[in-house]
Amino acid sequence: MYYCLSCCRLHPLDYSTHERIYNSGFRYIDQILYKAGICSPMSEHPNPEWRKPAC
């Protein structure tokens, strides 16, 4: 599982080519530490300013 920085949800790690998981980013949710990542290529994000936190 990892926490997506673009859609602010937890996703299972599928080891696909479009996922990007970071070794230096983490997020605590309910006292559980999850790696941070992005679930889809940045070109697929509808909002060009996806870096602004949505959550």
Q: 2-52: per-residue pLDDT in tens?
A: 998 888 889 998 877 778 888 888 888 899 999 999 887 665 555 556 555
Question: In this structure, what token pair is assigned to residue 39?
Answer: 């679930």
β-strands 32-38, 20-29 pairing: antiparallel
The DSSP-derived string for 39-53 is SS-GGG-S-TTTTS-
β-strands 20-29, 10-11 pairing: unpaired
pTM recorded for the entire structure: 0.68
Cα gap 24→17, rounded to integer Å: 19
